[in-house]
Structure 1
């Protein structure tokens, strides 16, 4: 089956739910447009301007320019209320499999659901695929070759996720991959709750685990419990809002779901060793990198 170029303009709706083995390269541009991707399809999302608004059955979020998303879970709705531009490459696992090549001696794992910063190389490949799919006669490379290059680059981009597979429960690679995908679903739900409060029972239900089994499996794979991960994200978000914005502390308190401003201030000082006022007065801002705790520690050392 071919690779299809599917442009979307303002006030248009494209529903890909009909059975299809094509790979769809969708280019959204405008406002009030919608794209519906069916459950279990694999889709790669690349915002270009203003981001793309995404909605899954259990959450809604904005994917911003500079980020990328690989989705292969439940159905996904995408759109723009404002004037924006984005690319999406969507297809069934069988459609993607035609363009995926495993390294010699390595098993074919396939793409895993993930959300991360987009590299310049991946952005260029995504844009190049859209251009070649739209006007194949103007490119010396076959559109299938460009799709293979994008698939290979995405696979390489996910090497860190592939390294987690040996930690997952399961006797076969397929079983371990299914375990990891369940835990990545939980991780995604935690990230989508900016206030940092998670319902363990709800998270466990999303993975078809009991709460105890989820805590044990999640810790085995990621080295921390779901609650610890949520608390870490909450702390990173607090540091970012205090250091990188002029948002009043009372508004930060509400945004992060703290019971009171005094509770937030106590938690902030207990975590970072300084008050919010001291953090904002630091002469040399040290940005906090996602997934690390070193930036606040460095900031504390500077303050000392």
Structure 2
């Protein structure tokens, strides 16, 4: 029997190659898990949260394509229609709100976005997910508290975004957060389409803002235009491909949305002060630590990478 038709409020698990499709349901939220080549689709879902525990997962959504590694999380707005496929050893947990409840459930200021948890925060998230899973059958105050606890936990991980919210136009905090939530979705769209050039009209359609308003507000919040962000993200993707593949420079440029090798080489040198070939040949002493060795753009500062240990 297809679990999506069972009508039971119990959590769903797609494991060992099994596939699940979530259809519209009356309950407020579903606690789900996808693991070991399992797949899950939620075409009619509302706001959703996805947390990678082990291995990797590939998530397709309206915002683009994302590959999550251990400790990474992704929060998607309603109508994102996530489609998840886990790797052979991948384990992902999720919380999916019903589409009709996304507007009435108090999301504890949780916004669309992505990030990485420290090991302690990941253990807390797993514990909250388990509590939510166990209480989901009751549909009582305990289930509601479990739902709010998970949303509050993700919101706490986004506390560094408060400064950006204050930059948004609007007379009230509520309006500022609404605008910022749409800008966050536009930012996710850019991150999810690092393989090509993103048109401003696409972001405008996604956020329901005019192209002019979107571009102006995005720059005020993130200190870069959407076009500049697209170039930066595509170059960062190129750095990953230079590390992880033996593709030619031309192939990597094409895979990152550049028209030709010359435009890719020029953009790479302008941002990083070296050629793509020189970067590929450069020694990387921290590669054995499993941390990112992406070159630092001129004028930027490095950040310490956190390696997550899974037990």
TM-score, L = length of structure 2: 0.75
**Alignment check: 8 A CA contact 1:69 1:116 kept:** yes
Alpha-carbon RMSD across the aligned residues, in angstroms, is 3.3
1:288 aligns to 2:289 (yes or no): no
Q: CA deviation at 1:114?
A: 0.6
Report what 1:265 is aligned to. 265
**Alignment check: 8 A CA contact 1:122 1:154 kept:** no
Check 1:267–1:37 CA distance in 2 against 1; reply closer, same or farther (3 A cut): closer
Cα deviation 1:11-46 (Å, max 9, x = unaligned): 34242511222x42212234353241634x232101
1:156 aligns to 2:167 (yes or no): no
Report what 1:25 is aligned to. 31
Report what 1:217 is aligned to. 217
Report what 2:22 is aligned to. 15
Cα deviation 1:125-175 (Å, max 9, x = unaligned): 232234445567xxxxx7776655543332221012222121111222221
Check 1:273–1:62 CA distance in 2 against 1; reply closer, same or farther (3 A cut): closer
Could you tell me how far apart the structure 2 residues matched to 1:58 and 1:150 are? Answer: 23
Could you tell me how far apart the structure 1 residues matched to 2:244 and 2:14 are? Answer: 35
Report what 2:289 is aligned to. none
Could you tell me how far apart the structure 2 residues matched to 1:45 and 1:78 are? Answer: 11
Check 1:247–1:11 CA distance in 2 against 1; reply closer, same or farther (3 A cut): same
Could you tell me how far apart the structure 2 residues matched to 1:293 and 1:264 are? Answer: 20
Report what 1:113 is aligned to. 112
Report what 1:299 is aligned to. none
**Partner of 2:27: helix, strand, or coil?**
coil
1:128 aligns to 2:127 (yes or no): yes
Check 1:94–1:237 CA distance in 2 against 1; reply closer, same or farther (3 A cut): closer
Report what 2:40 is aligned to. 34
Report what 2:73 is aligned to. 68
For structure 1, which segment, 157-166 or 71-80, has the greater mean C-alpha deviation from structure 2 after superposition? 71-80
**Residue segments in structure 1 that go unaligned for 5+ positions in a row:** 101-108, 137-141, 297-304
Q: CA deviation at 1:262?
A: 3.1
Identify which of 62, 80, 87 aligns with 2:93.
87
**Alignment check: 8 A CA contact 1:289 1:295 kept:** no
The structure with the largest alpha-carbon Rg is 1
**Partner of 2:94: helix, strand, or coil?**
strand
Could you tell me how far apart the structure 2 residues matched to 1:68 and 1:205 are? Answer: 25
Could you tell me how far apart the structure 1 residues matched to 2:9 and 2:153 are? Answer: 18
Check 1:55–1:237 CA distance in 2 against 1; reply closer, same or farther (3 A cut): closer
Could you tell me how far apart the structure 2 residues matched to 1:147 and 1:121 are? Answer: 20
Question: Relative contact order, CA 8 A, sep 6+: which one is greater?
Answer: 2
**Alignment check: 8 A CA contact 1:52 1:78 kept:** no
Check 1:80–1:290 CA distance in 2 against 1; reply closer, same or farther (3 A cut): farther
Q: CA deviation at 1:283?
A: 3.9
Check 1:35–1:260 CA distance in 2 against 1; reply closer, same or farther (3 A cut): closer
**Residue segments in structure 2 that go unaligned for 5+ positions in a row:** 1-7, 136-141, 287-292, 303-311
